[in-house]
Amino acid sequence: MARQIEHRISRRSFLKTSTTIAVGLSFAPYLSCGRIGVRKPIKRDFGRLDFEVTTLGLGGQASIQWTPSDVDPVQIILKAFKLGVNYFDTSNLYGPSQLNFGKAFRELNLVPGQSGYDEGKRRSIFLTSKTGLRYAKGGLRQEGLFNYTQGPEESGAVDDLKRTLSQIFGDGHGEYPPGAYVDMLLMHNVTSMKDVDAVYEGFAEPDPNAERIGAFAALLDYRNGTNRTGLNPKEERLIRHIGFSGHHSPPVQMEMLQRDEQSQLDGMLVAINANDRLNFNMQHNAIPVAAAKNMGIIAMKVFADGAMYTKQAVWSRAPEHVVRTVGNPRLPSRPLIEYSLTTPGLCTAIIGIGQIDDEPAQCQLEQNLSAAQIPPDGLGESGRLDVEKMASSVKDGKTNYFQIPIEPLSPPRDPAVSQQMRESQRVARLTWHTAYAGIAPIRQYEIWRDDQKIAQVQHQPQTTKAPFAFEDLLTDQGAHDYRLVTVDATGETAATEQLKLPAIG
């Protein structure tokens, strides 16, 4: 009951705020996110990862990476822990971010081997880092890949993993203590189909003698304590889960998910905010596939990396890009957080913090945590549409520079028709791969024969590379024309070209 009451207060505040915007009035900063104190943050199941995660996670960028001269990044991490946040995000690509986490973790007694180390406390948090390298062996000079590290020039993904452990738990120069581990390592910013090919190289049948071995196969060795790739001779277990992240392309993320037919990927970090549907959207394409696989799904870019506010719609690169205010009268921050966290399938949202303050009204961390206290269905469809309308008014909705342009609803992809005789029964078999959704989710597929609808198939997220299939039992020997039609939740349709089935006999 207390949770329901808290949400009613939140929703009432949001409606009041929307009205205030409409009449052009100003209001106190705390109305941007609410001033309700959070005694115990709510948690959600983190997919199949056997962990309950707070709905707000601490992002490792903003002032933890690009630190303004008057900010102590370690204090941001310590305050997040004190407030009950249990999900922490960083990366090998985030400059000093991992080192700052290392300083904070020492103060919190989270470093194995350190005097006062608290194993129970370490297990109470979830630490995720990332590698921007596509290969664990070879492939560093391949063109057309997102393939970056801030480690040594000839590094591979395993080197990035060990660099993370050294910077957070060790000496920062390559050494790390026994018992150190990362809860999850993400293959970061998977952007193109070539990136997907690279990280999966050698995945099915690792060959230690191969010239190139993709990141995924090697990370499996360090998760399982095996040495199938030849890159884990000590058979260390340094990570507990493997995942990936993507900002750019739903089809690329869906390809990453579908190739993983044995469900070895546990987590997906995905860009999702209230301007998502103004682009080729994640919420009706990649996210449902990950949710169907029961993965831990993490939202990022809730404020479009600050582009919803004072920063230009470009990648952040310096302290002056860090946003240090709590929302603004035109676009409060609370509804943006609520939008991401009520996207079906989402478990938590990471948000970088530019400013903490002893005054809760001015503290981004406290305000964001307050806004994150919302159940998965806490905003409702009409509320989500209200937030989309507000967000689209900023920069004409052109905030999500990291996403590809909007695409309309697509027909079923790679359609095909074949036939065979089974015990004197003629059977036409139609196959296809998932359509891509436009601004609304896909509802079903229709099967048409000779310009007549003969059946419909409910859409389900396609979780593997196995195509959808429908069999039509025919009673004649003549030729037929088939079409497959995608239908979304609004009734919009997209049809394939005719698929010709020749006569038999």
What is the location of CATH 2.60.40.10 in the chain?
Answer: 413-501
Region class of 376: left (phi > 0), else alpha (psi between -120 and 50), else beta: alpha
Amino acid at 314: V
Tell me: the pLDDT tens digits for 227-270? 999 999 999 999 999 999 999 999 999 999 999 999 999 999 99
Report how far apart, in Å, the C-alpha atoms of 279 and of each of 244, 284, 402, 450 are. 21, 11, 10, 36
Q: How confident is the model at residue 334 (pLDDT cuts 50, 70, 90)?
A: very high
- CA dihedral defined by 105, 107, 110, 114, rounded to 10 degrees? 120
Residue 289, pLDDT > 70, answer yes
| Residue 215: closest CA among 161, 157, 267, 260 | 157
Tell me: the pLDDT tens digits for 35-50? 457 889 999 999 999 9
Check: CB of residue 34 under 8 Å from CB of residue 332: no
Residue 245: the pLDDT is: 98
Residue 33, pLDDT > 50, answer no
Give me the CATH code for the 413-501 domain, please: 2.60.40.10
Check: CB of residue 115 under 8 Å from CB of residue 190: no
Assigned superfamily of 2-397: NADP-dependent oxidoreductase domain (3.20.20.100)
Q: How confident is the model at residue 85 (pLDDT cuts 50, 70, 90)?
A: very high
Residue 153: the pLDDT is: 79
Residue 16, pLDDT > 50, answer no
What mean pLDDT comes out for the span 398-406? 97
Question: How large a percentage of the chain has pLDDT more than 70?
Answer: 93
Q: How confident is the model at residue 32 (pLDDT cuts 50, 70, 90)?
A: very low
Tell me: the pLDDT tens digits for 165-197? 999 999 999 999 999 999 999 999 999 999 999
Residue 39: the pLDDT is: 87
Minimum mean pLDDT range among 31-45, 275-289, 408-422: 31-45
Structure tokens, 197 = 């090919």
Structure tokens, 191 = 């952007």
What mean pLDDT comes out for the span 121-146? 93
Tell me: the pLDDT tens digits for 336-393? 999 999 999 999 999 999 999 999 999 999 999 999 999 999 999 999 999 999 999 9
| Residue 357: closest CA among 76, 19, 24 | 76
Q: How confident is the model at residue 26 (pLDDT cuts 50, 70, 90)?
A: very low
Amino acid at 135: Y
What is the pTM (predicted TM-score) of this model?
A: 0.92
Tell me: the pLDDT tens digits for 142-158? 888 988 888 887 899 99
Check: CB of residue 126 under 8 Å from CB of residue 101: no
Residue 151: the pLDDT is: 87
CA 31 vs. chain centroid, Å, equals 28
Check: CB of residue 311 under 8 Å from CB of residue 66: no
Q: How confident is the model at residue 27 (pLDDT cuts 50, 70, 90)?
A: very low
Coil, helix or strand at residue 54: strand
Structure tokens, 464 = 């593997």
Residue 20: the pLDDT is: 36
Structure tokens, 57 = 């996670």
- Judging by beta carbons within 10 Å of its beta carbon (0-12, 13-18, 19+), is residue 129 exposed, middle or buried? buried
301 vs 281: CA distance, rounded Å: 13
